[in-house]
Structure 1
Amino acid sequence: MTYEHTDFATSTAPADVVRRQYLASAAGDLEALRATLAPDVEWTEMAGFPLAGTYRTPDGVTSNVMEQLGKAWDGWTAHDDTYVVDGENVVVLARYTAVNKATGRPIDVRVAHHFVVRGGLIVRFEQFTDTALVRDAMHG
């Protein structure tokens, strides 16, 4: 019998929840993205990153992070390459690609994301990336 992953859309498995977040983000579907986040989510963008800080609530995350990235960058995408799962912890090795709207300069930078998933929702997120490469693209 072949295993069919028919319940991906509703699965509460931590890796599936995280994967849905990436798919929603890439599609620009902020409503679907918010559906993966816990009401008390803590979402931290790395110090040195343009949007550095910790954001709370699903609306707070999408308005302060995804919507701002969409204003400053064309085609901002996090490509999720490798998943490392340990219980409720999901670490994703990925890369960002985008083109800065102000300078026209592209980025292609490696990133690691650490998610904590509890009860089928993302409760914590922390980003690790080379912030200097991102800043360089923003300043011609």
Structure 2
Amino acid sequence: MGLNESTEPADVVRRQYLASAAGDLAALRATLAPDVEWTEMAGFPLAGTYRTPQGVTANVMEVLGRDWTGWTAHDDTYVVDGENVVVLARYTARNDATGKDLNVRVAHHFVVRGGLIVRFEQFVDTALVRDAMG
């Protein structure tokens, strides 16, 4: 079974990152449960919890794509414990309003059930993100 068919939690999460990096929002939505809860950290420009696959891509990925050039989450380390997947990653982008580059470490916590992401929580140094915007 290849990465695209696997329901293993780490493979589902990896598909989400690949879809995001490719700008394939339909493929990204396909990794999300209908009742997904996606939380962007307090202090982050998009802070809040978003629900439904369409709600997540409309309120997070599409906004990041509008306000930043080349927004990418580079996933590098996976820690898997059952349905929990923690990914250490790095965001890189350029803010369109300021022209400033962003390069910041992040941690993401996913919960995967039945081959779909049911919960996501972001941890990031929000001050570095705001600095790139100001």
* TM superposition score normalised by structure 2: 0.99
The 2-side partners of 1:137 and 1:38 are apart by 32
The 2-side partners of 1:69 and 1:107 are apart by 12
Alignment-derived partner of residue 113 in structure 1: 108
Which consecutive aligned stretches of 4+ in structure 1 deviate over 2 angstroms post-superposition? none
Instruction: Report the CA distance between 1:122 and its aligned residue.
Output: 0.0
1:4-61 deviation line (CA, Å, top 9, x unaligned): xx42101000000000000000000000000000000000000000000000000000
1:52-78 deviation line (CA, Å, top 9, x unaligned): 000000000000000000010000000
2:22 to 19, 22, 27: 27
The 2-side partners of 1:33 and 1:41 are apart by 12
2:124 to 116, 129, 136: 129
Alignment-derived partner of residue 44 in structure 1: 39
The 2-side partners of 1:105 and 1:11 are apart by 38
The 1-side partners of 2:127 and 2:63 are apart by 18
The 2-side partners of 1:10 and 1:48 are apart by 36
Instruction: Give the partner amino acid of 1:56.
Output: R
Among all aligned residue pairs of Structure 1 and Structure 2, give the percentage whose two residues are the same amino acid.
Answer: 84
* TM superposition score normalised by structure 1: 0.95
The 1-side partners of 2:22 and 2:3 are apart by 17
Q: Which blocks of at least 5 consecutive residues in structure 2 are unaligned? A: none
Which structure's CA Rg is the greater one? 1
2:70 to 60, 71, 75: 75
